[in-house]
Structure 1
Amino acid sequence: MRFLLLIICTLVFGSAYSQNINLKIFGKTDLETKIIDSTNYTKTHPNTLFIKNEIETITRTLEKKGYIELKPNKLKKINDSLFTIQLSLYKRYKQLRVYYEELYLKEDIINKISKNYTRSYFDLPFLEIENSLNYLNREIAKTGFPFTKLKLSNFTINKDLVEAKLTVINSRKKRVVNNIIIKGYEKFPKTYLKHYLKIKQNQLFNLAEIQTKTNQLNNLNFANKLKSPEVLFTQDSTTLYLYIDKIPSNNFDGFLGFGTNEETNKIQFDGYLSLNLVNNLNFGESLNIFYKSDENDQQTFEINTKAPYLFNTPIGIDLTLRIFKKDSSFTTANQSAKLNYQINAKHKISTGINSTTSSNLLNTTQNTNIDDYESTFYTLNYEYLSLNSNNLLFPIKSKFYIEGGLGNRKTNINNQQQSQFTLEAFNIFYLNNRNSFFLKTNNALLSSNAYFENELYQFGGINSIRGFEENSIYANLFSVINTEYRYQLSSNIYINTIFDAAYFENNITSTKEKLLGYGLGLGILTKSGLFKLNYANGKFEDSNFNFSNSKIHISLKTSF
């Protein structure tokens, strides 16, 4: 038994020992040997096949560095554990001059890879030949030749310069996209395919460009990309397959807020409901219905519809009707229509008209700052929007919206030239996977020689400066900054701080004030939707903290 174990151990250790074969590569001179050693080639191998592969690898590496006259001598076996080979490097050439035909390669492409070029040749460092040829191949493929091959031939040596001819091998007929087939979401709006993704039939086939364009699907709120596009080539046609998934995009949003009335010391409730229907007709359209009633006996009703790419053109339309009623003081009806142009997935510009009619419900002697009027503004807008398609807690990463308008206000007494300006922007700054910082600003300005209370902006509450009653502050100029530090406890729970600051002016009452709001928040992604709970306290700059001024806001946003 011991003798059998001895034989097994001898065979195992003998086999393990025999697998270690050393390789020694050297040059004709000590300098050549140092150059070879600088490649850090592998010196220990399990068998001779690995040794031969290593020699071929080192040979190609040195040739790419410019040792194109390299000659390997015969591999020698010194003993069972050592093989040697001599590589004669000879002269190193640093530049390759490539002669080409301008028919396939234009000057604007050549100047990206070469500092010294003409219409017939360009120079390349040997170390950059492979990457440069790959770049040229990709550029030619973009022109409708996806099966292009580049070949260097007719090598000659002219003093210190190596010369070669570049041959471009491709089919004579350019490839175009003949057919587009959508898998997954077959009713994906064709207008979005043409104007949003800018992919259409009979355009030159460029796979890299198509892949970039389909990534823009993740900026849509009703569809995303399932996987990368695929292509079927036949002798006479090119068929493009796009894999798109339709995602739930309708959402219902509402909140309930309550606080203590300073006059009655009783709890008052306020809230809003928002229903947003998106892409139910598979045209990319949306319909938003909004209703809000707050503790100041103010009611707001708004309906907005958006129809993109009308009549298969890149032009879309936005229509809005907004009705606001302030107790028994006044009502204001606002109508707006905008024509927009989607520049690309994130940028949009629009122009439109905004018409407002307001009626005084009071006896004229009760409040001389409220009056009947009609106003018309012509507006110009720009919007940037970047989505977080994979983040259900914070689906929008960045937004920038700016609008300017010129118009006039008519009353029974006179006409007044006016201008208005609004700016809204926010961004989420990610510190790491769990920590982020949210920064938002909201600004508005109405410029006029005289003002009515029923034409001023109203702000305050959960969607502006938190800790104040909804729409309780009237201003002809205001600026609000919202900040939140957010910490994600898990993929569906986060907590956040609240620190808001605002400045506003009311020229009717000659008021200029600074406001502060601070508190804490909680967000939970449930099966029903995103549940938010905010606790905030607001104060004027010169006032003291009062616990009774605190506001609690509860909201739930659900998608279906």
Structure 2
Amino acid sequence: MHLKINGATEYETSVIDSLNYSKIHKDFASVKFELDSVQKILYKKGFIENELANLEKVDDSTFNAQFLLKNKFNTIYIYYNKEDIDVSTLKFISKNVFDNYFELKFTDIENGLKYINAKFSEKGFPFSKLRLSNIRLTDDVNLEAELTTESSEQKRIINNIVIKGYEKFPKSYVKRYLKIKPSQVFNLKKVQNKTEQLNNLNFANEVKPPEVLFLKDSTILYLYLEKTKSNAFDGFLGFGTNEDTNKLEFDGYLNLNLTNNLNYGESFRLLYKSDENDQKTFEVDMSLPYLFKSPVGIDLLLRIFKRDSSFTTTNQSAKLHYQINAKHKVFAGLVSTESNNLLTQNFSPNIADFKTQHFNVAYQFLRPQSNNLLFPLKTKFYLETSFGNRKSSRDTERQSQFVIDAFKIFSLNKKNSMYFRLNGASLVSKNYFENELFRFGGINSIRGFEENSLFSNLYGLINTEYRYQLNNYIFIHSIIDAAYFENKLINTKEKLFGYGFGFGILTKAGLFRFNYANGKVENSTFNISNSKIHLSLTTNF
């Protein structure tokens, strides 16, 4: 059926045509519904006196309708009570707010009243009602009315929080992480925004939005959660040709992460790494959030590094952390380092016994993207600084140290993205020992070089990848890395580059990754024998 709507004049017809109403309909009921919709839109535009003057059936499939729009009202002056409504609220929706009334364009009435009502709800009155009463003419194009508010006398507060699905969910996370607690003024919008942050946790997520049970004298909030697989086993195997012996050499690591197994939100990590250069690393760290239900948690770490028969270095740290919100966290604590020279013959003057005590502060920002299985973390920024003293048999040296690790994924579209990572560290001291320098190189720093084969007192590197997702489970990527480092012990300054490609496949066993990269020093020739292949598998359980 065809519908044509006209006005009383050409102007009124043009106003109606600008509404882009539907002209084709399947039956007469649809025609009637469209006419009702057009009339409601005209009300909102200020034609509050409009009326359907005529509906004529021209033939079996054609209807002509005529609306009389009459006067268009532009502005309404709304009188209010200062004790009921804050002036600051009114200034958000109106440019002209006075002591006892404010002005609104007719087209803004509905949204304006919704905003005011939402503010009432945020203050703990979810059942508040607003209406305009005593509406009267000011002149031919303006109206005035009184704003009447209705709300319960008792302000609604959250009396109890009930968790469904994952009853053992750590209660401290509700109070400290989500910042939802009993006796808090009930605000459904804020509650919904806060519970969405549960998806940022790696051990729980929200099954469905929260629900509220309103009783006569209490308000009960229901959260629907589920426990997720949060333990991870990560390992990689790397191999390449030794430049001196031309033999194939292997390196790799095993990394075990256990999270929330005690339903406390705790995490435990165990790392063992063996490098091509006869270097071994053992590391264990633990994070305990919200100690004694306080907003403060503690991080403990022990790291032991052994380089062949040259030296061993042991790092111990204890840090307190405070979770500002779901994305921001700050740290402060102490870091202790002890290193021992194992050389009894062929003594190296650059390796010495020493002990350090550093005070440490750090800041961390994380932004997850829980809807992406391949890349669950979109942004990371970690900045750390420490300062203290190093004691050795030679002297006592004042030192400071800076570390930065940041990356971001820029999504070009659903399949294409760019990955950029910045990583660097600096140790500031008058003199240096070889066994206190930073060690980098390999799959987690600049690819195409042996694991931890580069020593420096200052380094900075950039990792870049262009990623293309074939589907939700497979992606391919490029590798272009660059690094700069300084080693004042041997007066070396170098620029390094790594090139290659890789791919990742999300299987039932976990995320399998393959990287092929070739590393070179500035002004050196490309040598395919310097290429490194890295295989890794990350499994969640």
Bin of the TM-score, shorter chain as denominator length: over 0.9
Quickly say closer, same or farther: Cα 1:300–1:84, change in 2 above 3 A. Answer: closer
One of 460, 465, 490 as aligned partner of 1:509: 490
Quickly say closer, same or farther: Cα 1:325–1:184, change in 2 above 3 A. Answer: same
One of 519, 523, 535 as aligned partner of 1:538: 519
* Structure 2 unaligned residues grouped into runs of 5+: none
CA distance in 1, matches of 2:226, 2:401: 41
CA contact (8 A) 1:23 1:44 kept: no
Confirm whether residue 157 of structure 1 aligns to residue 137 of structure 2: yes
Summarize deviations over 1:165-221 as a string: whole Å, max 9, x none. 111111111111122111111111100011101111121111111111111011101
Q: Which amino acid aligns with 1:388?
A: Q
Quickly say closer, same or farther: Cα 1:173–1:354, change in 2 above 3 A. Answer: same
Aligned residue number for residue 460 of structure 2: 479
Quickly say closer, same or farther: Cα 1:22–1:243, change in 2 above 3 A. Answer: closer
Quickly say closer, same or farther: Cα 1:21–1:368, change in 2 above 3 A. Answer: closer
Q: CA deviation at 1:509?
A: 0.5
Q: CA deviation at 1:147?
A: 1.2
Q: CA deviation at 1:71?
A: 5.2
One of 449, 470, 479 as aligned partner of 2:430: 449
More displaced stretch, 234-243 vs 311-320: 234-243
Quickly say closer, same or farther: Cα 1:203–1:538, change in 2 above 3 A. Answer: same
Q: CA deviation at 1:40?
A: 4.3
Quickly say closer, same or farther: Cα 1:156–1:464, change in 2 above 3 A. Answer: same
Q: CA deviation at 1:260?
A: 1.8
Aligned residue number for residue 77 of structure 2: 97
Confirm whether residue 194 of structure 1 aligns to residue 175 of structure 2: yes
For residues 56-455 of structure 1, the aligned pairs below 5 Å read 56-70=36-50, 73=53, 75=54, 77=56, 87-159=67-139, 160-363=141-344, 366-455=347-436
Q: CA deviation at 1:296?
A: 0.8
Instruction: Say how many residue pairs are matched.
Output: 539
CA distance in 2, matches of 1:85, 1:272: 78
CA contact (8 A) 2:5 2:16 kept: no
Q: CA deviation at 1:55?
A: 4.3
CA contact (8 A) 2:160 2:221 kept: yes
Q: CA deviation at 1:118?
A: 2.1
CA distance in 1, matches of 2:517, 2:488: 28
Q: Which amino acid aligns with 1:154?
A: N
Confirm whether residue 469 of structure 1 aligns to residue 466 of structure 2: no
CA distance in 1, matches of 2:26, 2:313: 87
Quickly say closer, same or farther: Cα 1:153–1:325, change in 2 above 3 A. Answer: same
Give 3-state SS (helix, strand or coil) of 1:112's partner: helix
Aligned residue number for residue 547 of structure 1: 528
Quickly say closer, same or farther: Cα 1:298–1:154, change in 2 above 3 A. Answer: same
CA contact (8 A) 2:5 2:13 kept: no
Q: Which amino acid aligns with 1:527?
A: K
Quickly say closer, same or farther: Cα 1:116–1:508, change in 2 above 3 A. Answer: same
Q: Which amino acid aligns with 2:505?
A: I
Q: Which amino acid aligns with 2:291?
A: L
More displaced stretch, 342-351 vs 489-498: 489-498
Give 3-state SS (helix, strand or coil) of 1:111's partner: helix
Q: CA deviation at 1:22?
A: 5.3
Aligned residue number for residue 473 of structure 2: 492
CA distance in 2, matches of 1:497, 1:43: 53
Q: CA deviation at 1:132?
A: 1.1
CA distance in 2, matches of 1:327, 1:71: 93
CA distance in 2, matches of 1:474, 1:365: 20
Give 3-state SS (helix, strand or coil) of 1:209's partner: helix
Give 3-state SS (helix, strand or coil) of 1:474's partner: strand
CA distance in 2, matches of 1:131, 1:465: 54
CA distance in 2, matches of 1:290, 1:271: 11
CA distance in 2, matches of 1:516, 1:290: 27
CA distance in 2, matches of 1:69, 1:469: 81
CA distance in 2, matches of 1:78, 1:253: 74
More displaced stretch, 83-92 vs 253-262: 83-92
Aligned residue number for residue 506 of structure 2: 525
Q: Which amino acid aligns with 2:168?
A: K
Give 3-state SS (helix, strand or coil) of 2:449's partner: coil
Quickly say closer, same or farther: Cα 1:270–1:55, change in 2 above 3 A. Answer: closer
Quickly say closer, same or farther: Cα 1:198–1:52, change in 2 above 3 A. Answer: same
Q: CA deviation at 1:76?
A: 6.2
More displaced stretch, 96-105 vs 180-189: 96-105
Give 3-state SS (helix, strand or coil) of 1:295's partner: coil
* Structure 1 unaligned residues grouped into runs of 5+: 1-19
Summarize deviations over 1:11-60 as a string: whole Å, max 9, x none. xxxxxxxxx47555432x44444434444445666776655554443333
Q: CA deviation at 1:377?
A: 1.3
Q: CA deviation at 1:398?
A: 1.2
CA distance in 1, matches of 2:276, 2:368: 34
TM-score, normalisation: structure 2: 0.95
Give 3-state SS (helix, strand or coil) of 2:93's partner: coil
Q: CA deviation at 1:276?
A: 0.7
CA distance in 2, matches of 1:478, 1:21: 74
CA distance in 2, matches of 1:484, 1:42: 49
More displaced stretch, 479-488 vs 157-166: 157-166
Quickly say closer, same or farther: Cα 1:199–1:35, change in 2 above 3 A. Answer: same
CA distance in 2, matches of 1:80, 1:436: 58
CA contact (8 A) 1:67 1:93 kept: yes
CA contact (8 A) 1:23 1:45 kept: no
Aligned residue number for residue 4 of structure 1: none
CA distance in 1, matches of 2:435, 2:107: 73
Q: CA deviation at 1:464?
A: 0.6
More displaced stretch, 254-263 vs 44-53: 44-53
TM-score, normalisation: structure 1: 0.91
CA distance in 2, matches of 1:506, 1:135: 62
Higher Rg: 1
CA contact (8 A) 1:228 1:243 kept: yes
More displaced stretch, 259-268 vs 548-557: 259-268
CA contact (8 A) 2:5 2:67 kept: no
CA distance in 2, matches of 1:79, 1:436: 58
Quickly say closer, same or farther: Cα 1:76–1:427, change in 2 above 3 A. Answer: closer
Summarize deviations over 1:386-414 as a string: whole Å, max 9, x none. 12223222221111100111111111232
Quickly say closer, same or farther: Cα 1:304–1:91, change in 2 above 3 A. Answer: same
RMSD: 2.1
Give 3-state SS (helix, strand or coil) of 2:256's partner: strand
CA distance in 2, matches of 1:105, 1:458: 63
CA distance in 2, matches of 1:539, 1:89: 78
CA distance in 2, matches of 1:48, 1:540: 79
Q: Which amino acid aligns with 1:505?
A: E
